[in-house]
Amino acid sequence: MGRRRPGTPTLEEVAAHARVGRGTVSRVINNAAGVKESTRRAVQRAIEELGYVPNLAARSLAGRRADAVALVMTEPDWRQFAEPFFSEIVRSLGDALTDTGIQLLLTLVRSDAERQRFLEYARGGRVDGVLLMSVHAGDPLPDMLAEARLPTVLLGRRSGEEYVSYVDADNIGGARSAVSHLLRQGRRVIATITGPLDLYAARCRLRGYEEALALAGLKSAPTLVAQSDFTAESGRRAMAELFERHPDIDGVLAASDTTAAGALEALNAAGRRVPEDVAVIGFDDFSLAQRTEPRLTTVRQPIEEIGRAMIRLLLEEMEEGAVAWRHVILRTELVVREST
């Protein structure tokens, strides 16, 4: 990314002059919706008075702007793309880009060779920034993009020490609130069906489960934990395994709504009533949660806000360059329905 000449006004100086946040200046520059007309005029006046030239405009004049960002899916298991989470995120990102004039390009990167090809593609100026989702622990692609100084934002993170800019949901707090809800209902043998534990989000949801039990003076037993891959089939299989180990289970937290739907099917096949015998909670709050029988209590992820925040961070990095990594963690909400 090009650097500004000494003495040239920055985005922060424009924001201070207009008495708004730098994100508001970014939205005005990109002609995004949701900015009051009076605020838009104030920002435009500040831009004129300071002589600010947005980096994106300069790139466009130089003929080096692609007007496109890449959404890179790094999930190696193709079945995951059929899950609601992926389509909902793609929709929210597309909605957030609607008024920017920037195209969203979808690409799959699942091997070392594909990583290298994509890096060369992105460094060739074919995209202005990169959005990454479903990044597993140890994936080097975020580091490769950072070293190439390509504006990059992750959905989620690889670990608690992630330094690349990311937007995430409060997975620990969401899982903790779900298990606390089960405990308040008098449930005492509570199991959890995790996602793949090489995903940091799955590990955080497991941690929230363990923390809630510890706060209630209960110990988490390894035999009350089963792993899934977020699919309904893996939820059915995990629930059956858990019942073989603990026939007295009376509560379950599943790491996704799809997994929870599979668990509900396994409980029904075993002749267990929900919620009378076993209460079940999912994670996500997609439309599926209202189509299960009974309707699913779940932890709502703020998908729309996640999409908007990812695009906001990416546009800021595209305009100003990566002067600092930005980390955003958004709140989750427990939505109580008939399954508890």
**Are residues 157 and 209 both part of a single domain?**
no
Sheet holding 327-330, edge to edge: 103-108, 68-73, 129-133, 152-155, 166-169, 327-330
d(CA 297, CA 40): 41
Q: What is the CATH number of the domain that holds 322?
A: 3.40.50.2300
**Are residues 130 and 46 both part of a single domain?**
no
Q: Is 27 helix (H, G, I), strand (E, B) or coil?
A: helix
Strand 152-155 to strand 103-108: parallel, antiparallel, or no bridges (unpaired)?
unpaired
pTM, to two decimals: 0.80
- Please indicate, yes or no, if residue 111 is contained in any of the structural domains: yes
**Are residues 241 and 140 both part of a single domain?**
no
- Please indicate, yes or no, if residue 3 is contained in any of the structural domains: no
**Are residues 286 and 319 both part of a single domain?**
no
What pLDDT, on the 0 to 100 scale, is given for residue 339?
Answer: 98
- Please indicate, yes or no, if residue 95 is contained in any of the structural domains: yes
- Please indicate, yes or no, if residue 5 is contained in any of the structural domains: no
- Please indicate, yes or no, if residue 1 is contained in any of the structural domains: no
Dihedral of CA atoms 275, 191, 246, 264 in degrees, nearest 10, equals 40
If you write DSSP's letter for every residue of 95-152 in order, what string do you get? HHTTTTT-EEEEEE--SHHHHHHHHHHIIIII-SEEEEESPPTT--HHHHHHHTT--E
**Are residues 268 and 319 both part of a single domain?**
no
What pLDDT, on the 0 to 100 scale, is given for residue 34?
Answer: 67
What pLDDT, on the 0 to 100 scale, is given for residue 321?
Answer: 65
- Please indicate, yes or no, if residue 249 is contained in any of the structural domains: yes
**Are residues 117 and 162 both part of a single domain?**
yes
> Looking at residue 186, what DSSP letter applies?
T
Q: How far is CA 91 from the centre of its chain?
A: 13
**Are residues 26 and 102 both part of a single domain?**
no
* Cβ pair 197, 227 in contact under 8 A: yes
**Are residues 176 and 152 both part of a single domain?**
no
**Are residues 98 and 206 both part of a single domain?**
no
Alpha helices in the chain (DSSP H): 11-18, 22-29, 37-50, 55-61, 84-96, 112-121, 141-147, 171-184, 200-215, 232-245, 257-269, 303-320
**Are residues 140 and 164 both part of a single domain?**
yes
Show the tokens assigned to 160: 């608690």
Q: How far is CA 65 from the centre of its chain?
A: 27
Q: Give the domain extent around 254.
A: 171-300
**Are residues 119 and 207 both part of a single domain?**
no
Number of domains in the chain: 3
What pLDDT, on the 0 to 100 scale, is given for residue 80?
Answer: 59
Signed CA dihedral, 301, 305, 307, 311: sign only? negative
**Are residues 198 and 295 both part of a single domain?**
yes
d(CA 266, CA 263): 5
* Cβ pair 249, 188 in contact under 8 A: no
One digit per residue, pLDDT tens: the chain, 340 residues?
333 434 567 778 888 999 888 778 877 876 666 678 888 889 888 888 887 766 554 444 444 678 899 999 987 765 556 678 888 999 999 999 988 889 999 999 989 999 999 999 998 888 999 999 988 999 999 999 988 889 999 999 999 999 999 999 999 999 999 999 999 999 999 999 999 999 999 999 999 999 999 999 998 899 999 999 999 999 999 999 999 999 999 999 999 999 999 999 999 999 999 999 999 999 999 999 999 999 999 999 999 999 999 999 999 888 776 567 889 999 999 999 999 9
- Please indicate, yes or no, if residue 133 is contained in any of the structural domains: yes
d(CA 260, CA 287): 13
* Cβ pair 23, 76 in contact under 8 A: no
- Please indicate, yes or no, if residue 229 is contained in any of the structural domains: yes
